């Protein structure tokens, strides 16, 4: 299932980019985002004009059950692999579930395009969510994709006030 969403941040593009490399942002996000239960920065590397990151996230469960099977909270733990290009202002991502069984059935990748709008920044998020369930549950896949997409977009929307607050309180603190 494809998705696309547009968001506008009350922060400059330079401030958004600064938050990408700021080691304080992950703990700030954990503290202030209601859907994030755990976050662990595994790697951050700056190579020429690209930022490479690996971040493990645990979000609140989106789905409680799949058919008769109870969904474990750990099924929503994943490693976000991302590459941000400072020249093109595009972040490519791939979210890989930690659980090997979930990883074999689920994929999520896409990109964020950033553009400056004066003192604001627009982010266009686009990508794909794919759920490939065992044959007996295959009819539930579109419903699962829809629910995951809906909740994922809520997570992205919920990041906006957190990022704006981080910029206000951390990157440009009051005198």
Domains and CATH numbers, the chain: 2-171 (3.30.530.20)
The span from the CA of 163 to the CA of 63, in Å, is 26
pLDDT at 88: 98
The span from the CA of 107 to the CA of 12, in Å, is 31
Taking 50 as the pLDDT cut, the residues of the chain under it are: none
pLDDT at 69: 74
pLDDT at 58: 92
Q: What is the pTM of this model?
A: 0.90
CB 101 within 8 A of CB 79: no
pLDDT at 66: 65
pLDDT at 147: 85
CB 39 within 8 A of CB 59: no
pLDDT at 25: 96
pLDDT at 122: 98
CB 122 within 8 A of CB 7: yes
pLDDT at 67: 66
pLDDT at 84: 98
């Amino acid at each position: 299932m494809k998705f696309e969403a547009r968001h506008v941040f009350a922060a400059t593009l330079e401030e958004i980019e600064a938050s990408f490399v700021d080691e304080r942002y992950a703990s700030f996000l954990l503290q202030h985002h209601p859907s994030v239960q755990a976050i662990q920065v595994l790697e951050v590397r700056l190579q020429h004009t690209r930022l490479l990151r690996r971040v493990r996230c645990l979000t609140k469960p989106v789905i409680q059950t799949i058919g008769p099977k109870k969904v474990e909270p750990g099924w929503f733990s994943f490693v976000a692999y991302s590459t941000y290009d400072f020249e093109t202002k595009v972040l490519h991502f791939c979210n890989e579930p930690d659980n090997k069984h979930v990883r074999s059935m689920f994929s999520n990748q896409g990109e964020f395009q950033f553009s400056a709008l004066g003192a604001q920044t627009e982010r266009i998020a686009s990508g794909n969510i794919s759920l490939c369930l065992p044959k007996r549950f295959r009819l539930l896949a579109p419903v699962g994709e829809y629910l995951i997409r809906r909740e994922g977009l809520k997570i992205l929307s919920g990041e906006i006030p957190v990022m704006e607050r981080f910029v206000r309180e951390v990157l440009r603190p009051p005198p």
